[in-house]
DNA sequence: TAGTTTATACTAACACTGTAAGCTAACACT
DNA sequence: AGTGTTAGCTTACAGTGTTAGTATAAACTA
């Protein structure tokens, strides 16, 4: 039926195309609608061929999660580097806005990372933890800088704990926002984010 | 094969048993592993019989979500009523702790409500919004009371917005905690929650 | 260059899922 | 008694992830 492509295609990069098709599908339908057979259909290949590149569906999902974390981490780093090193408030604002922007631009990727959207999927922590941690590096680094400059308002909490709390606050707001679970208080997500960000800065950082 | 039960069983409450079996399954395997056929197997009935009580799987999930919201809301109300009306800080602490306790006790129910764990399921907002809102009533009421007592530190933010932000903070921390997505900072979820709760109280409320 | 191995595609099949259609026995009501 | 409705059942269909077995083209080896 199919024209039987020439065996080892050598440079067709089918693995990359599978990942690409998976993202396309996730962006449209959400992570939980990921289907190996539909990926295969879209690519014009047989479904089991995917198993030449991923040991099973979970393995593909893990690859997607790693890619998403790397994307988030690189956006964070870019935002951090875009602000002057010595202007800590500017750096903080830059990475804060970049964090929300990334989540709003790629909501399904964000939910893929931080939700539990795939039936029966459990993330292999030892694989994911390192790159997940690296997506928090920019924030941790800024908090550390505030600390070393003696500009932390709160002194009885470890800097990494402060960073973790800032993250859970931002994550809580952003994840609820892109899931459309915000309580109906007449404020758009952007406005609420600005308010919360200001409150966070006020509470933890001097000047 | 089966002894063919006596037709209209009238008081067998199969609908209730289906929901019960669904919870049992969700508690063990997580919400995304919910399977109508396995429910039927556990109850010793045929899978399509479920359709006599729920129009489809999503309908069952909606019923579960409503039940979960109601449970959360009633726990919140109980916690609110357990503290003396005039002691606003005690009431706030009571509902705060009750919120986390409920989430930790029923993590899968919490994730069912606030995550997007079911493949292809989209919550019917007009059905769920009212009971979802009612689970925030205790918090809103306490914040209102602080406001009317002139004991809000922050005056340029609407009280409902303050309540919403407090909720997103608590939700962010709790949801990440029960999903085991907390950054590795050596603090247990309980400790982190106490720290964050104190910070919230300090930031918004006087005395 | 000829022969062998290996990688990558395929088809067919299995076990599972939600769900629709149609049948039947028991009850409720005229 | 007869009728209609309810709530079970079996059967069947289309979808899913996954495994097994097969074929072919490329790459390596003698």
Q: Can you read off the two tokens belonging to residue A146?
A: 């505030």
Say whether residue A188 is in contact with chain B using an 8 A CB cutoff: no
Mutual angle of helices A14-29 and A57-82, in 10-degree steps:
80
Instruction: Tell me how crowded residue A92 is: count the other CB atoms within 10 A of its CB.
Output: 24
- Helix, strand, or coil (residue B72): helix
A11 touches strand D (CB under 7 A): no
pLDDT in tens, A97-132: 999 999 999 999 999 999 866 877 888 989 999 999
Residues A205, A119: Cα–Cα separation, whole Å: 41
Q: How far is the CA of A34 from the C1' of C8 (A)?
A: 24
Nearest-Å Rg of the Cα atoms of chain B is: 20
Confidence at B25, pLDDT banded by 50, 70, 90: very high
Query: Is the per-residue pLDDT at A1 higher than 90?
Result: no
Residue A160's DSSP bridge partners are: none
Nearest-5° Cα angle at B65, B137 to B93: 35
pLDDT in tens, B112-130: 999 866 877 888 989 999 9
Mutual angle of helices B159-178 and A159-178, in 10-degree steps:
110
Domains and CATH numbers, chain A: 12-54 (1.10.10.60), 68-204 (1.10.357.10)
Residues B63, A53: Cα–Cα separation, whole Å: 40
Residues A35, B142: Cα–Cα separation, whole Å: 46
Selecting from A117, A171, A180 the residue whose C-beta is nearest the C-beta of B172 gives A171
Query: Is the per-residue pLDDT at B134 higher than 50?
Result: yes
Instruction: Tell me how crowded residue A6 is: count the other CB atoms within 10 A of its CB.
Output: 8
Q: Can you read off the two tokens belonging to residue A173?
A: 């707001």
Query: Is the per-residue pLDDT at B189 higher than 80?
Result: yes
Q: How far is the CA of A181 from the C1' of C12 (A)?
A: 46
Say whether residue A173 is in contact with chain B using an 8 A CB cutoff: yes
Say whether residue B32 is in contact with chain A using an 8 A CB cutoff: yes
CA distances from B37 to B44, B49, B57, B153 (A): 10, 10, 11, 54
Say whether residue B28 is in contact with chain A using an 8 A CB cutoff: no
Residues A72, B186: Cα–Cα separation, whole Å: 24
Q: Can you read off the two tokens belonging to residue B119?
A: 């493949």
Confidence at B30, pLDDT banded by 50, 70, 90: confident
Q: What residues contact residue A146 under an 8 Å CB cut-off, 6+ apart?
A: A88, A152, A204, A205, A206
Q: How far is the CA of B48 from the C1' of D2 (A)?
A: 30
CB-based contact B173:A168 (threshold 8 Å): yes
Minimum-distance residue to C24 (CA–C1'): B7
Backbone angles phi, psi at B152, to 5 degrees: -90, 130
């Amino acid at each position: 039926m199919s024209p039987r492509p020439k065996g080892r295609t050598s440079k067709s990069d089918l693995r990359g195309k599978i990942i690409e098709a998976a993202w396309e599908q996730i962006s449209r339908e959400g992570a939980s609608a990921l289907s190996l057979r539909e990926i295969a259909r879209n690519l014009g290949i047989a479904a089991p061929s995917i198993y030449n590149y991923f040991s099973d569906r979970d393995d593909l999902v893990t690859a997607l999660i790693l890619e998403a974390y790397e994307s988030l981490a690189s956006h964070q780093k870019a935002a951090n580097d875009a602000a002057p090193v010595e202007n800590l408030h500017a750096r903080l604002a830059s990475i804060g806005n970049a964090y929300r922007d990334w989540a709003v631009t790629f909501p399904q990727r964000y939910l893929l990372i931080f939700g539990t959207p795939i039936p029966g999927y459990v993330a292999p922590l030892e694989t994911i933890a390192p790159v997940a941690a690296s997506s928090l590096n920019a924030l941790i680094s800024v908090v550390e800088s505030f600390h070393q400059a003696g500009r932390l308002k709160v002194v009885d909490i470890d800097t990494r704990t402060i960073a973790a709390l800032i993250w859970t606050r931002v994550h809580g707001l952003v994840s609820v926002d892109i899931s459309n679970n915000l309580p109906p208080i007449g404020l758009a997500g952007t406005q609420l984010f600005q308010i919360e960000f200001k409150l966070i800065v006020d509470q933890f950082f001097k000047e």
